[in-house]
């Protein structure tokens, strides 16, 4: 034979190795083409032995077709005898024989002739990795979907409205002053209303928790002088005296009642400044001065201030009197910044 069997060529090398092991053939570690030739010669030499094997039946069928294939030799010329009157039997038999031979000729031809169509179809079925552009586009689409979903959820809820209202409420100089006072009160409360034992939350074995002690402010101290003396001094220095001076020395009230200067966007005589009942800048300056005089210099203010109470306030506040001065400086700067923005 000039070449291997068509059925063997159509098999993969792993399948050929399985056939070689099935027929007891050894030394099949070579190329696929060499293995095809070796199997073809071995099976052809032992056809009597393997022709009845069901696994090798396709091989012998292909071999029988290739032996009698018209591709191997010149196609015989069919001599059609002259038609005889009254009989069509011979011509019909020859035509039927030619039609039956056509499928075998086509199958043998497709087996013998190698084309890249099969390899191309296999390559089309192999999933190729996505390009970076496709990956980026997929990520952008996913991000857009998530963003749209989050925006729809936020739009249905009242979170944006509450957020905007909270931001608008805190974006004032009054909110800044209140925050500074709450910061001082947080530390002062621990000194004036000390925590006392209230009760214990028992341990829960199922959750693996321990006993948790709950402490609460001792509200009975509100009935004692140990609370009211320091509390009164702090109220006097941090709120009452600064508010008094801030109300009467109110620069914002004076500017709001004065005639305005004519500008392109604002006609003459229209006041643009907002009047505060208590001037925030004056409030911050007076608070810083009075806190320094009382807490740092120890001024008694006519015997009203108790030295022991001043010491308790200094020890309770974050940073002592220096912390109060820093807070007053911050609120003063914020008041100046607010005044500049309103011009």
pLDDT in tens, 167-197: 999 999 999 999 999 999 999 999 999 999 9
pLDDT at 240: 95
pLDDT at 75: 43
pLDDT-wise least confident of 106-110, 233-237, 315-319, 327-331 = 106-110
Q: Of 335, 223, 216, nearest to 282 (Cα)?
A: 335
Instruction: Please compute, for residue 124, the number of CA atoms within 13 A of its CA located in the half-sphere on the CB side.
Output: 6
Q: At residue 273, does pLDDT exceed 80?
A: no
**What number is the average pLDDT over the span 247-251?**
90
pLDDT at 124: 55
pLDDT-wise least confident of 35-39, 55-59, 101-105, 288-292 = 101-105
Residue 256 pLDDT class (50, 70, 90 cuts): low
Query: Residue 59 to residues 79, 120, 134: CA-CA distances in angstroms?
Result: 33, 26, 48
Spatial neighbors of 219 by CB under 8 A, at least 6 apart, are 193
pLDDT at 148: 85
Strand 195-201 and strand 212-217: the pairing is antiparallel
pLDDT at 72: 44
pLDDT at 127: 59
Q: Of 75, 149, 146, nearest to 105 (Cα)?
A: 75
């Amino acid at each position: 034979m000039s070449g291997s069997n068509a059925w063997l060529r159509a098999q993969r090398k792993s399948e050929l190795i399985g056939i070689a092991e099935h027929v007891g053939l050894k030394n099949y570690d070579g190329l696929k083409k060499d293995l095809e030739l070796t199997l073809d010669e071995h099976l052809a030499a032992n056809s009597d032995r393997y022709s009845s094997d069901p696994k090798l039946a396709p091989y012998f069928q292909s071999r029988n077709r290739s032996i009698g294939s018209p591709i191997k030799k010149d196609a015989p010329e069919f001599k059609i005898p002259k038609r005889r009157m009254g009989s069509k039997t011979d011509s019909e038999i020859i035509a039927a024989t030619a039609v039956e031979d056509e499928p075998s000729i086509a199958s043998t031809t497709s087996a013998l002739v190698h084309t890249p169509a099969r390899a191309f179809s296999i390559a089309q079925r192999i999933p190729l990795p996505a390009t970076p552009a496709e990956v980026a586009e997929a990520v952008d689409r996913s991000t857009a979907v998530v963003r749209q979903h989050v925006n729809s959820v936020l739009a249905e809820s009242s979170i944006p409205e509450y957020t905007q209202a909270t931001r608008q409420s805190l974006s004032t100089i009054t909110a800044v002053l209140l925050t500074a006072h709450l910061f001082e009160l947080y530390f002062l409360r621990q000194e004036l209303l000390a925590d006392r034992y209230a009760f214990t939350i028992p341990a829960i074995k199922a959750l693996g928790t321990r006993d948790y002690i709950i402490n609460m402010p001792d509200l009975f101290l509100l009935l004692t002088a140990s609370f009211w003396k320091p509390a009164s001094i702090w109220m006097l220095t941090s709120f009452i005296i600064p508010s008094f001076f801030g109300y009467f020395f109110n620069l914002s009230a004076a500017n709001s009642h004065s005639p305005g200067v004519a500008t392109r966007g604002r006609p003459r005589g229209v006041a643009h400044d907002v009047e505060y009942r208590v001037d925030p800048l004056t409030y911050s300056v007076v608070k810083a001065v009075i806190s320094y005089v009382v807490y740092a210099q120890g001024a008694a203010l006519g015997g009203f201030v108790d030295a022991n109470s001043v010491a308790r306030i200094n020890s309770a506040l974050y940073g002592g009197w220096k912390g109060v001065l820093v807070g007053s400086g911050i609120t003063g700067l914020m008041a100046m910044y607010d005044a500049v923005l309103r011009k």
